[in-house]
Amino acid sequence: MPMSRLTGAVLLLAGTAAPLALLADDAELATKAANAAVLEELDFSNTQDFENARRGFIATIEPAIIRNDAGDVIWDMERYAFMDGAAPDTANPSLWRQGQLNNIHGLFEVTKGIYQVRGFDLANMTLIEGETGWIIVDTMTTVETARAALALANRELGARPVSALIYTHSHADHFGGARGVLSDEEITSGKVPIIAPDGFMEHAISENVLAGNPMARRASYHFGNVVSTGPAGQIGSGLGKTTPAGTVSVVPPNQIVSETGAKLTVDGIDIEFQMAHGAEAPSEMMFYFPQFKALCLAETANHTLHNTYTLRGARVRDVLAWTRYLNESLQLFGDRSELYFGSHHWPGWGKEAVQSHLRNQRDAYRFIHDETLRLANHGYGPREIANQIKMPDAIAHVWANRGYYGSVKHNAEAVYNFYLGWFNGNPALLDRLAPVESSTRYVAAMGGADAVLANAQTAFDKGEFRWVAELVNHLVYAEPDNKAAREMQAAALTQLGYQAESGSWRNFYLSAASELRDGVSPRPSPTPGRDAVSAMTLDMFFDFLGVKLNPEKAEGKKITVNFQFTEPDAEYLLELEHGVLTNTQGVQSDAADVTLNMSREALNKLILKEAGFPRLVLTGDISFRGNPLAFRGLMGMMDDFDPWFPIVTPINPG
């Protein structure tokens, strides 16, 4: 067999310190064949989605670039202009098609009185014409993108004030732009209804606190923010394009919906609500507009199979509840709805379209749920189930059920985890070695690095890229500075990315390949501002301090701190003992080392590092009794978290 491109690269890397960017990363024959098979499997002649995505187009901005006040680019649709023809060999044709659909951007009329701005953010903004102003459903991710979307609507449809906001659910891409559509005065006055499902604020903030750092890091992979766009790079996430790099705001709701069947009249528009907690988001609701015969599906039904577990990291979702909500929507609104729209993607028109969309999405999730548990009841573990589950063609070939964001495989593993946890019952997996130690032993058992690379090369030439990735991962962890191993792993992951139908899978594969070749590359991402800190409850803050505590620094230490807050009136006791930091609300200790008295605003300044403890004491924002060095000592035991830790190589290779 002639020496392949990769063989030459590995040999070159094994004998020289040549740069890693020596491959063009063309699609291998196996990748070309896999992508060609997709063209044969699916009905690409069906263009209904393209007709729906373009229907009602009014205008967009030219160029389709959004900047912040400093002139920095926050959002850029121009960089996806290359996606104007047939799919290249380096992209799954089905994902390419979805990327082309998500490229269609601008202001659209859904029906008279309902409009959407799509393609200005990962998520949509929907505007309903009320009697006095715009009722805005979801405000996108950032202040900058929301401001641009509203400006476009006002320019084309006539300027109107914002008369109400509705948050469909507790993920940041649906509430983060609130300060882009409401002024500080409008927010503080409380005159504009801001409507959300119960539990909204708790979950909007808590999901991003205790495990926020790894979630944010993995999100950079999930949305492909560390990968350049292009036919061999990032082409979207399936749910949309990517995340904007602007400022995330958090404006609390002032009106809560808590039960299915609740009805409100908002600026002259009647709305009927349906709760959907614990499905796609822990706090979520759908709603129906009788005047328009229009159903807002939030993010429970999309033009993709969604995540029952998201690769960026979050709690596993309740798939059975998800299917029941979709079925309930069908029963409540299916016969009354003439169109549907959602928080992502494009609408659908006609009663039959509404009903079939709900049925198809319901049945897709229900099949994954039931088939996973059927196989689990036969004794199969999560990896075995993921590798044999196959959705019936009748629902698998529906475009909206394709795994552009979630996937059948990792959703099935999520169902297993939801019911049975990570352990499959085999005790060989119960107390496994840490990755570096395990991989070092694997490489030694396989005969050393050269033998691993030789075996991997043989598999690569056969197109067995999944096996190459599993095999060489051991060598990368055993010898993280082995350039030949890193290049081999990167090449295999690149091919897997080219074949992936899931946008998030492609982004993970290509992001990992980039990190293996070029190291960790910090990139701009959505930035939570003062709103997020202010919205943290005191419980969340003190729980997070416990997460940050380094037990080695705290070993043998015992510190007790009373916190007394004004605005709001609250007391907390912090007790450090046994390397654990415990917080108790409503309790104070007479034997505390120090008692701190402060407002919540003073605490916010400390968290945001707008002012240090000594300065806040001097200004009178903080007062104390006892020894303030005790508090200083406690804070000195806290870890700082690196937001750009490595993912595909050992964190501490030594």
Q: Are residues 271 and 297 in the same domain?
A: yes
Asked whether residue 452 falls in the same domain as residue 564, the answer is: no
Give the pLDDT of residue 633: 95
The token pair that represents 348 in the structure block: 């659908």
Over residues 522-529, the mean pLDDT reads: 72
Q: What integer pLDDT is reported at residue 521 of this predicted model?
A: 81
pLDDT score of 530: 81
Task: Give, in degrees to the nearest 5, the angle at Cα 208 between 206 and 211.
Answer: 100
Same domain, 91 and 146: yes
CB count, 10 Å around CB of 533?
A: 18
Beta strands of 60-200 (E only): which ranges? 65-67, 73-76, 106-111, 114-118, 125-129, 134-137, 162-166, 194-197
Angle at 60 (CA atoms; ends 227, 121), nearest 5 degrees: 35
Q: Average pLDDT, stretch 611-635?
A: 94
Q: Out of 494, 518, 542, pick the residue that ends a domain.
A: 518
Q: Among residues 80, 424, 54, which one has the least CA distance to residue 224? A: 80
Judge if 474 and 609 occupy the same domain: no
CB 271 within 8 A of CB 287: yes
Instruction: Give me the pLDDT at residue 20, please.
Output: 31
Residue 126 forms beta bridges with which residues? 116, 137
The proportion of the chain whose per-residue pLDDT surpasses 70, expressed as a percent, equals: 95
Task: Note the pLDDT of residue 1.
Answer: 32
Answer yes or no: do 448 and 576 share one domain.
Answer: no
Which pLDDT does position 16 carry in this prediction? 29
Tell me, yes or no, whether 425 lies in a domain: no
For residue 653, what pLDDT is reported? 55
Asked if the model's pLDDT at residue 269 lies above 50, the reply is yes
pLDDT tens across 549-570, in order? 999 999 999 999 999 999 889 9
- Residues forming beta bridges with residue 263, ordered by sequence position: 272
**5: pLDDT strictly greater than 80:** no
Structure tokens given for 49: 């989605």
646 part of a folded domain: no
Torsion from C-alpha of 94, 100, 101, 107, nearest 10 degrees: 170
Looking up tokens 């169109």, which residue turns up? 339
Number of compact structural domains in the chain: 3
The whole-angstrom separation of Cα 24 and Cα 281 is 40
Question: What integer is the mean pLDDT of 352-356?
Answer: 98
Average pLDDT over residues 139-156: 98
Q: Which of 487, 518, 549 is the last residue of a domain?
A: 518
Pick the range with the lowest mean pLDDT from 6-15, 238-247, 551-560, 592-601.
6-15
In terms of domains, do 165 and 209 share one?
Answer: yes
Kindly give the interhelix angle for 408-420 and 319-333, rounded to the nearest 10 degrees: 110
- State which of 388, 418, 448 marks the end of a domain: 418
| d(C-alpha 626, C-alpha 632), whole Å | 12
Please indicate, yes or no, if residue 51 is contained in any of the structural domains.
yes
Asked if 140 and 146 touch (Cβ cutoff 8 Å), the reply is yes
Q: Is the Cβ–Cβ distance between 90 and 231 less than 8 Å?
A: yes
Q: Where are the alpha helices (DSSP H) in 42-127?
A: 48-54, 93-103
Cα 603 off chain centre by? 29
Q: Do 442 and 493 lie in a common domain?
A: yes
For the segment 566-601, what is each residue's pLDDT rounded down to a tens digit?
988 999 999 999 999 999 999 999 999 999 999 999
Q: String of b and e for 601-632 (b: at least 16 CB within 10 Å)?
A: ebbbbbeeeebebeebbeeebbebebebebbe
Put residue 224 in one of left, alpha, beta given phi > 0 → left and psi -120 to 50 → alpha: left
Do 24 and 74 belong together in one domain?
Answer: no
Mean pLDDT across the chain:
93
234: pLDDT strictly greater than 70? yes
State residue 183's pLDDT score.
Answer: 96
314, burial (CB in 10 Å: exposed 0-12, middle 13-18, buried 19+): middle
Domain region containing 15: 5-31+432-518
Nearest CA among 96, 162, 102, 98 for reference residue 127: 162
Whether residue 343 is contained in a domain is answered as yes
pLDDT of residue 209: 83
Residue type, 200: F
Say how far apart CA 459 and CA 548 lie, in whole Å: 43
**Counting Cβ atoms within 10 Å, is residue 128 exposed (0-12), middle (13-18) or buried (19+)?**
buried
User: Using CA atoms, how far apart are residues 128 and 106, in angstroms rounded to an integer?
Assistant: 16
Within 8 A by CB and 6+ apart from 515, the residues are 226, 521, 646, 647, 648, 649
653 located within any domain: no
Asked whether residue 201 falls in the same domain as residue 315, the answer is yes
pLDDT given at position 472: 98
pLDDT at 159: 98
> What CATH number is associated with residue 571?
3.30.1050.10
**For position 90, which CATH number holds?**
3.60.15.30
Residues 55-76: tens digit of each pLDDT: 999 999 999 999 999 999 999 9
Taking residue 504's Cβ as centre, other Cβ atoms within 10 Å add up to 27
For residues 81-105, average pLDDT: 97
Instruction: Please state, in angstroms and rounded to a whole number, the distance separating the CA atoms of residues 549 and 364.
Output: 43
Look at 395 and 536; give whichever has higher pLDDT: 395
Do 23 and 47 have their domain in common? no
Residue 450 has pLDDT above 60, yes or no: yes
Is the per-residue pLDDT at 352 higher than 70?
A: yes
Residue 644 lies in a domain: no
Q: Specify the DSSP element, H or E, that contains 577.
A: strand 570-577
Rg (CA), the chain: 26
Give ∠ CA 487-410-99 in degrees, rounded to 5. 70
Residue 647 is assigned to a structural domain of this protein: no
Does residue 43 carry a pLDDT above 50?
Answer: yes
pLDDT average, residue stretch 370-382 = 97
Is residue 654 predicted with pLDDT exceeding 80?
no
Identify the residue whose tokens are 């890397």.
Answer: 13
**Residue 386: predicted pLDDT:** 97
Contact call for residues 505 and 239 (beta carbons, < 8 A): no
Distance CA 395, CA 326 (A): 15
Please state the rounded mean pLDDT for residues 213-221: 91
Q: What is the pLDDT of residues 460-480, one digit of tens each?
A: 999 999 999 999 999 999 999
Q: Are residues 627 and 606 in the same domain?
A: yes
Kindly state the average pLDDT of the residues 607-611: 89
Distance from C-alpha of 480 to C-alpha of 371, rounded to nearest angstrom: 39
Based on the domain organization, do 94 and 204 belong to the same domain?
yes
Is 648 within the bounds of a domain? no
pLDDT at 532: 84
CA distances for 137 relative to 324, 388, 536, 557, angstroms? 24, 40, 24, 51
47/24 Cα distance (integer angstroms):
33
CATH code at 17?
A: 1.25.40.880
